[in-house]
Structure 1
Amino acid sequence: MLQREAGSGRSRIITVANQKGGVGKTTTAINLATALAAIGERVLVIDLDPQGNASTGLGIDRSDRILSSYDVLTGAKPLQDVARETAVPNLFIVPSTMDLLGVEMEISNTRDRVVRLRNALAAPGAATFGYVLIDCPPSLNLLTINAMTAAHSVLVPLQCEFFALEGLSQLLETVGHVRSTLNPSLEIQGVVLTMYDSRNNLARQVVDDVRAYLGEKVYRTLIPRNVRVSEAPSYGKPAILYDLNCSGSQAYLQLASEVIQRERHTRAA
């Protein structure tokens, strides 16, 4: 069974969340997952966004998504029956479909509505992954609450723009609420600054402001604006597969190293 308490088992569940769209959330989820798989970790991505961009970015065509995270949340299928291989060795995905748009209405009146995903991950046969990364929709809805309730930690992508900190306090409040009511082991794994342009004075100021506000919670790695990273999803590939040597891919490899270091520190604590 997947271990629920931080540091108590090998499997680690990380929710990638930000209610603001266009911050590189899905790009971060799939490239971090690819980097972890590349160093030998067995990784599962759970796509909880009805838009299904993580599924597309990992090469799963929409016409080929017979089973999805919708089936997991409604209890129609166990997670291990829905998880499928990707082109990346050691990397698996539970794909998403537009059916997720209706799942909140379907399960909203059930007693276990906020623990559906946690229960699915705790079921016999689901605990075969070193890391589980959950890609959330750009909103703080029941899908995101399910993800946070199931997770050990939350990773927050934050775009290097003027309104970077706008809405972050709401996200942190939601994490605090989930921690106090549903999942006492939930932590902020870290905040990753995305779409960074070193030529832009504003971007540098944002980095300084976010680090002054959040301190050590902000990763050292900055994810740069990079054309190759933007192109990769249209080819159904993570940037790390599309162009390993581009600056964006190299940054995600560095981010994976930081994530692993933090996880080791958490487990040792």
Structure 2
Amino acid sequence: MSSDTAARPATVCVTNAKGGTGKTTIAINVAGALNDRGHDVLFVDMDPQGNATEGLGLLDAYDAEPPTMFDVLTDREARSSIDDLIVEHEEMDVVPSSVDLLQAEHELTIADLVAWAKTDPTVDVDPATLSSLAINVTPETVTGEHALDLLDRALAELHAEYDVILIDSPPFYGKLTDTAIYAARSVLVPALTEASSERAIELLIDQIAALESQVDIEVDTVGVVANRVEQTNEDTAMLEWLETVFDDYPVWEVRKRVALQRAFSAGTSIFAYEQTVDMESVFLDIATQIETRYGVERPEVPA
């Protein structure tokens, strides 16, 4: 683990490349639960679609002029401006996504190629030639054997202090997702209790193993959140499968509730929503697991 990562607060990436798992809803409500327990939370939206940014009522930030998260990731000179991107929400601080992040996969791929050309003596390619294909990336942007540490380096520039950082990853495999997992070194996995989720979970496990091998890191698993659970035979079978595959980790069950979507539409977690939702205890349990697993001390409540 890099010194910057080791010095940062507990950082968790909420990730699953299968779309429609409710990943963003899970991430927002875990952040809400951590806030409810007294923690200062930073929510980083790395999804180019900006679902979390929109779900937190910050759609204007998604269309903001540069510099944006894209520039913070890909432009070394803009990296320190990450503090300027932070938007306040009633429950958490947010680094919003941006429409510019749609270009990030290409840019991060070029950055990785630049790193390869700079560090492998057998590669007869001028890094400057590669960077001419990019928008922001230059040979100076990339200082190691790979470029998956660009979010890690950006988060190290934060001046504000947080107890927990939550990263909402894109719903697909690629450089952005790898960059988010690399920065966090820990994942929380949302999954639907339907048969099609099995392949997605297997691919995620393989993807994390490949990342660990490629850049010599260890990625911890906080647990799995079985989302939109109903009382069907398929749900029961999938819960059993998840508990078998993740036998060393907690598997939480979030029942299907209309109020979860209503809170999302209202721009809050269920903890700030006007209607009480019986799933609050599940998200509080996830928050407690993050506290326990990563030594996050709960602030003392004044008497």
TM-score by length of 2: 0.78
What is the deviation of 1:203? 0.9
Show the 5 A alignment for 1:133-148: 133-148=166-181
| Structure-1 residue corresponding to 2:21 | 23
Q: Residue 240 in 1 paired to residue 271 in 2?
A: yes
After the TM superposition, which of the residue ranges 66-75 and 147-156 deviates more from structure 2? 66-75
Asked if structure 2 preserves the Cα contact closer than 8 Å seen for 1:157 and 1:191, the reply is yes
SS in 2 for 1:217: coil
SS in 2 for 1:241: coil
SS in 1 for 2:254: strand
Show the 5 A alignment for 1:132-171: 132-171=165-204
Question: Which whole-Å deviations, capped at 9, do the CAs of 1:155-195 have from their partners, x for residues lacking one?
Answer: 11011112221121111111112222225132122211111
| Structure-1 residue corresponding to 2:148 | 114
SS in 2 for 1:56: helix
Structure number with bigger Rg = 2
SS in 2 for 1:40: coil
| Structure-2 residue corresponding to 1:81 | 84
Count of paired positions: 257
| Structure-2 residue corresponding to 1:174 | 207
Question: Which whole-Å deviations, capped at 9, do the CAs of 1:67-101 have from their partners, x for residues lacking one?
Answer: 5422321233522121221122xx11100122111
CA distance in 1 between counterparts of 2:216 and 2:180 reads 11
CA distance in 1 between counterparts of 2:41 and 2:97 reads 17
CA distance in 1 between counterparts of 2:61 and 2:249 reads 40
| Structure-1 residue corresponding to 2:100 | 99
| Structure-2 residue corresponding to 1:53 | 51
Asked if structure 1 preserves the Cα contact closer than 8 Å seen for 2:61 and 2:98, the reply is no
What is the deviation of 1:51? 1.2
Question: Which whole-Å deviations, capped at 9, do the CAs of 1:211-234 have from their partners, x for residues lacking one?
Answer: 122202233x31111000012222
| Structure-2 residue corresponding to 1:214 | 246
After the TM superposition, which of the residue ranges 210-219 and 153-162 deviates more from structure 2? 210-219
Point out where structure 1 has 5 or more consecutive residues left out of the alignment.
none
Question: Which whole-Å deviations, capped at 9, do the CAs of 1:49-77 have from their partners, x for residues lacking one?
Answer: 11111111222123665254223212335
- Runs of 4+ residues over 4 Å off in structure 1: none
Question: Percentage identity across aligned positions?
Answer: 31
Question: Which whole-Å deviations, capped at 9, do the CAs of 1:25-58 have from their partners, x for residues lacking one?
Answer: 1011111011111212111111011111111122
CA distance in 2 between counterparts of 1:254 and 1:152 reads 21
Q: Residue 131 in 1 paired to residue 132 in 2?
A: no
CA distance in 1 between counterparts of 2:159 and 2:185 reads 16
SS in 2 for 1:41: coil
Q: Residue 204 in 1 paired to residue 204 in 2?
A: no
CA distance in 1 between counterparts of 2:174 and 2:8 reads 29
CA distance in 2 between counterparts of 1:178 and 1:135 reads 18
Letter in 1 for 2:151: L
What is the deviation of 1:121? 1.1
Asked if structure 2 preserves the Cα contact closer than 8 Å seen for 1:190 and 1:218, the reply is yes
RMSD between aligned alpha carbons? 2.2
Question: Which of 246, 260, 274 in structure 2 is aligned with 1:229?
Answer: 260
SS in 2 for 1:237: coil
What is the deviation of 1:243? 4.3
Letter in 2 for 1:27: T
CA distance in 2 between counterparts of 1:104 and 1:169 reads 23
| Structure-2 residue corresponding to 1:185 | 218
CA distance in 2 between counterparts of 1:127 and 1:178 reads 29
Letter in 2 for 1:72: V
| Structure-1 residue corresponding to 2:132 | none
